[in-house]
Chain A
Amino acid sequence: MTGEVVRPQILVRDVTKSFSGRVVVDVDELVLGDVPVEGLLGPNGAGKTTLMRLIMHSIPLDGGTVSLSRPGQRDVVLSSTRTSQMAGLGVVKSTQVITDFEHLTILDSALLAVTEARYERPFAAATDRAVRKRHEDEIRHWLDYFGFHDPLAVALSGGDKKLLDIVRCLLLQPAVLLLDEPTAGLSEDRTERVKAAVRQLASTGTSVVIVEHDLDVIWDLCDEVIFMAEGRVLLKDDPATIRANPTVVESYLGAGSA
């Protein structure tokens, strides 16, 4: 596929995953990144989050392969790549569960995301201020944008931690960004900011995939929606078509939702 793609794409092929004998993901073939923003939709237990974790190789696959294609670059098999190498390849994922680094401040988190490995060695001569100077504009941009008024404090609320997770992802300048319930627990104003940031990122060439239970976010943001149930991809189409599909209405949205 080298040289054929116009956007970064993730190709999922024959991927299976079971927990305690129960199949939670069974995807024959799925291409993510056909369009700028895609939504993964489905009832609880459909396998959406597990699929994202399989793509990131944070859990091992039972079978199949996941690969990354980027315009003008060689394909990379993600399913045989270490999780810690994913960000370097441009594949970045936010976390579903609210999580943070205990003790580290908001600015620490941002600096951690942008600091190159050579500055993190035990006897590296670079000071923290030198690293900050190299990345100050981008860090300041995103922290200001999301309203972090005191970056030298520790993020305390769940909303702040959720947004900080997204900030870290954005600072990594991803080629493919997987967002797992990015607006869960956020206020309306902050949700709109996340949506605007995603649109801006997608417009610059990043492929974004979103798992979200707030359907308004999916309908507003996504150019295409993938509907999953019981570990399988059942449908892939534009939001209006998915929204009107009887299977989706019956098994997920409920009557009268359209």
Chain B
Amino acid sequence: MNLDWLDAFLIFGAFKVVEIMGLGLLVHLQLGLTRVANFGVVGFWGVGLYAFGVAHLKVDWPFGDPYQFLVCAAIATVAAAAAGLVVGWLISELDDDGTLVGTLGFATIVVILATTQQGLTGGALGLGGLGFPYDFGRVKTHEFTWLLITTAVVALIFVYAWRVHRTPHGRLLIAVGANEALARSLGKSATAARLRMMTVTSGAMGLLGAMHGVMVRSLEINSLDVGVTLAALAALILGGTARVFGAVVGVLLTVALFDIVIQFYLPIPDGWNTQALPVAREAVFGAAIVLMLIFRPQGLLGQMRRPALMRRLHGDW
């Protein structure tokens, strides 16, 4: 495959777009449907990243790739899902403010553990040695293939989120988010519904963390930055928390704008890419959240359109 036309940095920019889109879709299920304000996205993603990295680098597996990748990715997914289950249980009786602080606290714990457990994680120095689970010869081909694989995974997450809206599971999540007391009176266990949702979505966040580890080929403490959470939340709030396409539109208008359009297609001065632009990016994302919450809290795509969906599903009623 001749990829000379493709800039390696562009591949990585597109990877970030796809990755944040996946996280945004999962936050949509948490915040948009179930109204669980998860401000610790990077924590679940980081558990996946580090569980994958440690399992890959510290365990002497009797088999090589791609099986080693598959097993380690499964470990990352299960570890993040378990974290989602535990954190979900701990915050189950908290209000919105408590949930926000609790999930943020969890993310902080993950960063602290990753920093201090040097024997396992490499601490602040990090660990190198991760690689792609295939060998085609050229790095750019590897990265482009990994971008395609990650895109396929995020497409599956999109299909899952899209389908949730059309199933009894999605209706339960909306009901629990909208009126927990009323849902309980109908015999619905709001706690169980939230825990299942948190387990599934956190597991998927962990898988995306593992896929990030493969792309960057190392564990770096700097990657556990609040910017991951900020990017996913800013995109979703901009696009619309209650709509599946909210995350897609939001990521295109935020991460894609900064990490692809501005970075590659605008004539910005040398040095801005590494210094001014990342800072400006986070500032703009933060401002976008504040402005959207003030002027259009439902996001660009607006409210959930449940009657229209129900007419498509049950038009023959």
Contact = CB atoms under 8 A, between A and B. Distances in A.
Interface string B227-255: 00000000000000010000000000000
Contacts of B171: 104, 108, 111-112, 115, 120, 128
A65 interface: no
Which one of B169, B185, B186, B303 has the highest number of Cβ atoms from chain A below 10 Å of its Cβ? B185
A83 B185 contact: yes
Contacts of A93: 185
A210 interface: no
A122 B317 contact: no
A22 interface: no
A132 B317 CA distance: 10
A103 B242 contact: yes
Interface in A71-105: 82-88, 92-93, 95, 99-105
A86 B317 CA distance: 30
Interface stretch (A146-154, A181-189, A195-203): A146-154
A112 B164 CA distance: 14
A152 B303 CA distance: 17
Interface in B182-204: 182-190, 193, 196-197, 200
A234 interface: no
Contact of B174 (A104, A117, A152): A104
Interface residues of B, number: 36
Contacts, number: 121
Interface in B178-226: 178-179, 181-190, 193, 196-197, 200
A113 interface: yes
Contacts of B166: 127-128
Interface stretch (B14-22, B137-145, B306-314): B306-314
B310 A105 contact: yes
Contacts of A56: 185
A102 B180 CA distance: 11
A126 interface: yes
Given A129-B313, A151-B317, A101 B184 contact: no
Contacts of B185: 56, 58, 83, 86-87, 92-93, 95
B306 to A, nearest CB: 5
Interface string B138-174: 0000000000000000000000000010111101101
Nearest to A114: B186
Given A58-B185, A93-B185, A107-B314, A122 B200 contact: yes
Given A107-B314, A111-B171, A112-B186, 4 more contacts: A83-B184, A115-B168, A126-B167, A128-B313
Interface of B: 164, 166-169, 171-172, 174-175, 178-179, 181-190, 193, 196-197, 200, 242, 303-304, 306-307, 310-311, 313-315, 317
16 contacts: A58-B181, A58-B185, A84-B188, A86-B187, A101-B178, A101-B182, A103-B242, A105-B310, A107-B310, A112-B172, A120-B169, A121-B169, A122-B169, A122-B196, A128-B314, A129-B313
